[in-house]
């Protein structure tokens, strides 16, 4: 099939590349000409393991194209995906849909015959109705079916999540559009990857409800971890014991720092905001938002306690600063609150992250990026394992630090407290 992906961010680029790898002809469009030039040189502006190889293969086979000419791309496509950002508005919790509606207004000019327009961006319930009004404006015969097809891609695992999804959700009441969408996804619909057709608003809400539930699950186990710390229980036992119940499931039950990323924080707030419009109070999701924000402060205070409130001139090392491994994304990472707080208290902070130096910390004079683990850990007083990159999982801390009396604060519970004690290393974890 001939597809047009509008927006080449985490969603649009990954989906476009993967769709082309299924044999479709895909034009990826972005109004950021610099980004399009980079992509046409085979350079990828996001960190997504494995994406570059698939991109290069499909560009070579002339199935994948990058352009900033929306009109050209629309004319070469039967299905047009809107994959632009829907960030949280500055002064409110609502999703900013200006980019979505800007695209819809342009599409109205360019679309002259039947097309399917798909919202893959995460949009509040009933956004599809608004897009439909723009595209099928009065006096024009209805020539567009507007479909909701939310993505469930995790950063760092996006290709796997695209090719092996638990489900493909398509929101439309149009039999024709549903038939076309089902044939588009046929190559990846298997027994395990279900194709689910529902209403357009249903598909829009499934996305928010899923993300808010996952965020709730994480905040829930994080709060239980707080109780474990006070009651001398190991949270890993609780997660394991709970996860054996198939109704609960063992995934997304790992206690850690606050959840971050571009989705959970944004989508939980947007869901509460949309519910308000429909005069519904989502008290649980509201509490999750508050609990997660508060967690970053709890972690920073825990560091003060670990260092007996003697922070000034203490050498503190962060291993990893991104919101999760296998991504360079810093959005809503706990480090964005913890490092500035510790820096303001006079700590001397070094950090090492496999994805390199972060602009977010450049303004802090006592925060330094180190190119490797040894220079980050040498002679440090406290190592905070912030992100669970694989390369942090088998470290010989004594050889790295080269001094006695250092402390480990393991925010991802990578290491065993028992083994740390056996090695006479002072260790703190989460919920243990």
Q: What is the DSSP letter of 426?
A: E
* In the complex, minimum distance from the CB of residue 260 to ligand UDX, in angstroms, rounded to a whole number: 4
Query: Does 370 qualify as catalytic in the annotation?
Result: no
By CB under 6 A, tell whether 264 contacts ligand UDX: yes
Strands 348-352 and 167-171: unpaired
By CB under 6 A, tell whether 252 contacts ligand UDX: yes
Q: Which stretch binds ligand UDX (CB under 6 A): 112-120, 248-256, 278-286, 366-374?
A: 248-256
CB 173 within 8 A of CB 199: yes
- Reduced to 3 states, what is the DSSP secondary structure of residue 317? strand
* In the complex, minimum distance from the CB of residue 257 to ligand UDX, in angstroms, rounded to a whole number: 7
Nearer to ligand UDX by C-beta: 74 or 95?
95
| Closest alpha carbon to 266 in 202, 323, 216, 332 | 332
Nearer to ligand UDX by C-beta: 317 or 335?
335
Q: Which stretch binds ligand UDX (CB under 6 A): 63-71, 260-268, 285-293, 347-355?
A: 260-268
Question: Contacts with ligand UDX: how many residues (CB under 6 A)?
Answer: 19
Q: Across the strands, what pairs with 26?
A: 3, 64
Question: Could you identify the residue written with the tokens 């470290």?
Answer: 395
Candidates 39, 82, 95, 253: give the one binding ligand UDX (CB under 6 A): 253
Candidates 35, 115, 120, 254: give the one binding ligand UDX (CB under 6 A): 254
Who's near 61: CB < 8 A, 6+ residues apart? Answer: none
DSSP of 323-381: SSTT----TT-THHHHHHHHHHTT-EEEEE-TT---GGGTT-TTEEE-SSHHHHHTT-S
Strands (E), 120-260: 144-148, 167-171, 194-198
By CB under 6 A, tell whether 392 contacts ligand UDX: no
Nearer to ligand UDX by C-beta: 65 or 428?
428
Site for ligand UDX in 133-152 (CB under 6 A): 151-152
CA dist list (Å): 368 to 324, 339, 340, 377, 388: 20, 11, 12, 12, 20
The two three-digit tokens of residue 66, written as one number = 């990058």
* In the complex, minimum distance from the CB of residue 378 to ligand UDX, in angstroms, rounded to a whole number: 27
User: Between the CA atoms of 161, 163, 169 and 174, what dihedral angle is there, to the nearest 10 degrees?
Assistant: 150
By CB under 6 A, tell whether 296 contacts ligand UDX: no
Nearer to ligand UDX by C-beta: 317 or 327?
327
C-alpha span between 274 and 77 (Å, rounded): 32
By CB under 6 A, tell whether 406 contacts ligand UDX: no
| Closest alpha carbon to 379 in 316, 307, 312 | 316
Nearer to ligand UDX by C-beta: 27 or 254?
254
* In the complex, minimum distance from the CB of residue 267 to ligand UDX, in angstroms, rounded to a whole number: 7
* In the complex, minimum distance from the CB of residue 181 to ligand UDX, in angstroms, rounded to a whole number: 18
By CB under 6 A, tell whether 353 contacts ligand UDX: no
By CB under 6 A, tell whether 401 contacts ligand UDX: no
C-alpha span between 150 and 171 (Å, rounded): 9
By CB under 6 A, tell whether 263 contacts ligand UDX: yes
Nearer to ligand UDX by C-beta: 162 or 406?
162
C-alpha span between 430 and 235 (Å, rounded): 8
Site for ligand UDX in 202-241 (CB under 6 A): 211, 214, 218
By CB under 6 A, tell whether 155 contacts ligand UDX: yes
Candidates 54, 153, 316, 400: give the one binding ligand UDX (CB under 6 A): 153
Binding mask 94-133 for ligand UDX (x = CB under 6 A): ----------------------------------------
Site for ligand UDX in 309-328 (CB under 6 A): 323-324
* In the complex, minimum distance from the CB of residue 1 to ligand UDX, in angstroms, rounded to a whole number: 23
CB 18 within 8 A of CB 159: yes
C-alpha span between 88 and 229 (Å, rounded): 34
Active-site option among 4, 83, 228, 263: 263
* In the complex, minimum distance from the CB of residue 421 to ligand UDX, in angstroms, rounded to a whole number: 25
Site for ligand UDX in 323-352 (CB under 6 A): 323-324
Candidates 57, 154, 182, 357: give the one binding ligand UDX (CB under 6 A): 154
C-alpha span between 334 and 338 (Å, rounded): 6
CB 104 within 8 A of CB 131: yes
| Closest alpha carbon to 68 in 135, 117, 13, 6 | 6
The binding site for ligand UDX (CB under 6 A) comprises: 151-155, 211, 214, 218, 252-254, 256, 259-261, 263-264, 323-324
Active site residues: 263
């Amino acid at each position: 099939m001939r597809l047009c992906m509008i927006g080449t961010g985490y969603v649009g680029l990954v989906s476009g590349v993967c769709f082309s790898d299924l044999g479709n002809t895909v034009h990826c469009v972005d109004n950021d000409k610099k980004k399009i030039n980079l992509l046409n040189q085979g350079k990828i502006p996001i960190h997504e393991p494995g994406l570059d190889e698939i991109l290069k293969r499909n560009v070579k086979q002339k199935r994948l194209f990058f352009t900033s000419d929306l009109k050209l791309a629309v004319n070469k496509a039967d299905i047009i995906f809107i994959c632009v950002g829907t960030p949280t508005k500055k002064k409110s919790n609502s999703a900013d849909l200006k980019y979505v509606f800007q695209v819809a207004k342009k599409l109205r000019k360019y679309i002259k015959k039947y097309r399917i327009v798909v919202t893959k961006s995460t949009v509040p319930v009933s956004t599809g109705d608004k897009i439909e009004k723009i595209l099928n404006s009065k006096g024009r015969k209805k020539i567009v079916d507007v479909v909701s097809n939310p993505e469930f891609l995790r950063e760092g695992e996006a290709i796997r999540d695209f090719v092996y999804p638990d489900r493909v959700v398509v929101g439309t009441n149009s039999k024709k559009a549903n038939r076309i969408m089902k044939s588009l996804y046929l190559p990846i619909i298997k027994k395990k990857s279900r194709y689910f057709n529902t209403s357009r608003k249903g598909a829009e809400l499934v996305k928010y409800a899923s993300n808010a539930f996952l965020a709730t699950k994480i905040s829930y186990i994080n709060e239980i971890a707080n109780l474990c710390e006070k009651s001398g229980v190991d949270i890993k036992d609780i997660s394991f014991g709970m996860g054996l119940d198939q109704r609960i499931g063992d995934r997304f039950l790992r206690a850690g720092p606050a959840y971050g990323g571009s989705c959970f924080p944004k989508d939980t707030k947007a869901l509460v905001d949309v519910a308000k419009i429909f005069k519904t109070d989502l008290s649980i999701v509201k509490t999750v938002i508050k609990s997660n924000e508060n967690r970053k402060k709890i972690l920073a205070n825990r560091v003060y306690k670990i260092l007996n409130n003697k922070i000034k001139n203490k050498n503190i090392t962060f291993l990893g600063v991104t919101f999760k491994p296998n991504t360079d994304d810093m959005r809503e990472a706990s480090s964005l609150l913890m490092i500035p707080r510790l820096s303001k208290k006079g700590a001397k902070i070094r950090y090492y992250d496999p994805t390199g130096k972060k602009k977010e910390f450049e303004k802090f004079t006592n925060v330094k990026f180190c190119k490797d683990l040894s220079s980050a850990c040498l002679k440090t007083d406290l190592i905070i394992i912030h992100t669970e990159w694989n390369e942090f999982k088998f470290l010989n801390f004594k050889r790295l630090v080269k001094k006695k009396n250092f402390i480990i604060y393991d925010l991802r519970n990578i290491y065993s407290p028992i083994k740390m004690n056996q090695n006479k290393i002072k260790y703190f974890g989460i919920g243990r």
